[in-house]
Chain A
Amino acid sequence: GQQVMQIPQYQHVQEGEDFTTYCNSSTTLSNIQWYKQRPGGHPVFLIQLVKSGEVKKQKRLTFQFGEAKKNSSLHITATQTTDVGTYFCAGLYTGTASKLTFGTGTRLQVTL
């Protein structure tokens, strides 16, 4: 079946460093969404990317969708302790009855 691979599984950074997580699919995606889950919490929707090559920003977060619509990235500039959590990408494949396929997530730890 369709799979969305996400790397790295875990990253530990010092506050102020940048962070990037990557998602890859072997087949073309219709769109991709990103979620954040704080420790002990539930996933919260961040953004959706639809167009090939699309780039969107939310303050220190930059989201990209690849030209071939097979990969995506989330980049956080100058991390803060409030960025701690697990970041999931979730892809929508054409013809899959609109159900998302989630990546396995990247857990981000930020220390002072």
Chain B
Amino acid sequence: DVKVTQSSRYLVKRTGEKVFLECVQDMDHENMFWYRQDPGLGLRLIYFSYDVKMKEKGDIPEGYSVSREKKERFSLILESASTNQTSMYLCASRLTATYGYTFGSGTRLTVV
């Protein structure tokens, strides 16, 4: 089974801090994604990556950046955390476009 591992299950950070969320997949998947999930809003795409060093903006990229230096790792960076970035963050990977996503367990981030 494919495993997508997110480094933290819960995080509490202060406003203005730089925050790193890490995601690692173990099945050589080409595509990786970062979503945030908020009640009533479903899953919204922040950034995605087709391959190493490639990244594309999703629907809500403002306030975020990403890094994909190695195929298995996709990092989400909050440059200066704000309270409206308090959310559940989900990483996902996929072999190719014809496959479903495998999600990590999520990181619940609280910005105070």
A residues near B (Cβ < 8 Å) are: 1, 6, 9, 33, 35, 41-48, 88, 90, 92, 97-105
* Cβ of A83 to closest chain B Cβ, rounded Å: 19
Give the total of B residues in contact with A, Cβ under 8 Å.
25
A-binding residues in B (CB < 8 A): 31, 33, 35, 40-45, 48, 50, 56, 58-59, 90, 97-106
Contact in complex: B59, A44 (CB < 8 Å): no
A101 to chain B, nearest CB (A): 8
Closest to B43 in A: A102
In the complex, which residues of chain A have a beta carbon less than 8 angstroms from the beta carbon of B104?
42
**Cβ contacts under 8 Å, A103 to chain B:** 42
Contact B100–A45 (Cβ < 8 Å): yes
Q: Are A99 and B33 in contact (CB under 8 A)?
A: yes
- CB < 8 Å neighbour of B56 from A46, A47, A97: A97
* Complex alpha-carbon distance, A100 and B34, angstroms: 12
Measured in the bound complex, the distance between the Cα atoms of B54 and A98 in whole Å is 14
Known contacts A88-B42, A104-B40; decide if A43 and B103 are in contact (CB<8 Å).
yes
**A99 touching B58 by the CB < 8 A rule?**
yes
Question: Do B48 and A99 have beta carbons less than 8 Å apart?
Answer: yes
Residues of chain A within 8 A of B31, CB atoms compared: 98
**B90 and A43 form a contact (CB under 8 A):** yes
